[in-house]
Structure 1
């Protein structure tokens, strides 16, 4: 565990997470019905230690909250995930049944119930929830039932709260939030998620942008004066361009709603990365003093895309924009051993030299 990461989170809590954490999630579908979720993860204050974890069926886990121990379990299903700072802190992943789950920071609006030792076997820490979901459920429908009795508790005291996206290859998708100690589960028809405020507010806020449309506004006549757009894209006037969660939610929803349905899952995966490129946050935007933490090339430290239909998870990082993939169909989750691998074997960007003769 990175001591700086834990110490900063615990001491700066909500104020820190509002400034340094930003995640954007989208969902696309190909013409043949293949479904892809994709997301970015931003952390602007230090380099996150991110690993690729391969977790077999039957893997035993003892979870832990800030106040005490929580539930223990053995995986029913194997999965591949991306973890940050601790191998159990899976923030995005896909299991062998095509269920996808992801964690998104949710500072200032969530509130977990008080820890109750008597309900230890129904309690799990916020940072270990995604791993538990991936290891135990094969569909959104079953996950919705299975999580209803679960109590979320903070892994680190004062570290703010998170919310979750759970999706499967049928197209079902839900958002899970803990507000005032109560679990709220929302259907997510657009497949978009960012951070705070709450998901229901974000969806309502979209009504303020119904004037937006793809393309260019037609010429108009004002009392005999012909007016026309100076260039393409005037239908997007009013689309917010800042990096706050509400603005990113609106942009993501608009881009998803106007995205073409491409022929294959492969094309859809590549297109999802193109959309996410529009949400990358360069160093310097989040802090007033132009701070540049050592080794941090981008506040967007990595992005991933998950082909739930065909069982493949893809990712690229700030160190290497080349897209890499893990095909879960090639893994025997009944025999594979638990693995915790660095997300970047080499932290450098391959550059192809073009030789002119």
Structure 2
């Protein structure tokens, strides 16, 4: 059984390129192994909203093919990209997620939090379509044994190839939608709190602080990065939100989506958590978050990229090339061990 770790430190950003590409990237952290795999969900597949209590889950047929990542071998994507250029990611939202109370009157209109990404990606093509659809469903779930006997607490970021982005949060039993103009998301508390907190750090600047003269003595900064002195460096969600805004907003112009994908991975390296750096006590045992996966979705080229803790090599699925006639969910294992290239110049 999955014990609930002390922190879940997922971080999401968005970059745009001069060729019109939009790239959404994120890290995925957890304190216990999630056996993260790539998942492909084809068109024309009957799907449902997962396990819910008090009502019958929604059912539908997939309109769009999806590439993404799952956890614990489930048939649900927790993050992904569809063939229309829509991208959705679930982010942990502990202590703040408040799902709907449902009854038989809600039969056929309920989706569990584990299957919300599936629903949005297989049914819709744009942010506006998702925004309208959330008013017609309720999100409620059942306790999941594999998730520590709880209903997993999530909120979601939704982005499309136009660059539009929203955050959807279950608060007070309702789905609250926030515009996300910066394309950034982390975890608790609510998204509007994070956007207000940015005001505490508007002094941050990627440009170095100029020299200062005091009584004819000139003082210069000791090195590069003085404009970011005071930027929070810990792994809490508020601190990561601030850093994600700073790093994603300060990038140099990017020519292509490919450039934006590579830059996304470089930025998200700043949020990579090595084992032991963010830990807590769970059931009397020390447990540490690690970055189990990092992904990037190119919403224009329809390519989905991933690295994992065991292998920093970038893996990719191209939605333009998947078999359109497949009618089953495909799961693809990620490497369990890093391969190192030996470039030693040796005598032949």
Q: TM-score, normalised by structure 2?
A: 0.92
The superposition leaves residues 41-67 of structure 1 with CA deviations (integer Å, 9 ceiling, x where unpaired) of 0012x2112222211212112333341
Mapping of 1:259-338 within 5 angstroms? 259-288=251-280, 299-333=290-324, 335-338=325-328
Cα distance, 1:76 vs structure 2:
1.3
Aligned residue for 1:141? 128
Task: Please identify, of 160-169 and 127-136, the stretch whose mean Cα deviation from structure 2 is larger.
Answer: 160-169
Is this contact kept in 2: 1:51–1:340, CA < 8 A? no
Alignment gaps of 5+ in structure 2: 144-148
Q: Which runs of 4+ in 1 moved over 3 A?
A: 157-160, 288-293
Q: Distance in 2 between matches of 1:340 and 1:51?
A: 10
The secondary structure found in structure 2 opposite 1:82 is strand
Structure 2 residue 187 is the aligned partner of structure 1 residue 201: no
Aligned residue for 2:330? 340
Q: Distance in 1 between matches of 2:19 and 2:67?
A: 25
More helix by share: 1
Cα distance, 1:259 vs structure 2:
1.0
Is this contact kept in 1: 2:44–2:327, CA < 8 A? no
RMSD: 1.9
Cα distance, 1:181 vs structure 2:
1.0
Aligned residue for 2:231? 239
Alignment gaps of 5+ in structure 1: 9-15
Q: Distance in 1 between matches of 2:165 and 2:43?
A: 24
Q: Distance in 2 between matches of 1:343 and 1:253?
A: 32
Cα distance, 1:288 vs structure 2:
5.0
Aligned residue for 1:12? none
Cα distance, 1:289 vs structure 2:
6.8
Aligned residue for 2:157? 165
Q: Distance in 2 between matches of 1:227 and 1:90?
A: 53
Is this contact kept in 2: 1:284–1:292, CA < 8 A? no
Cα distance, 1:213 vs structure 2:
0.2
Is this contact kept in 2: 1:304–1:314, CA < 8 A? yes
Cα distance, 1:120 vs structure 2:
2.1
Is this contact kept in 2: 1:53–1:338, CA < 8 A? no
Pairs aligned (count): 338
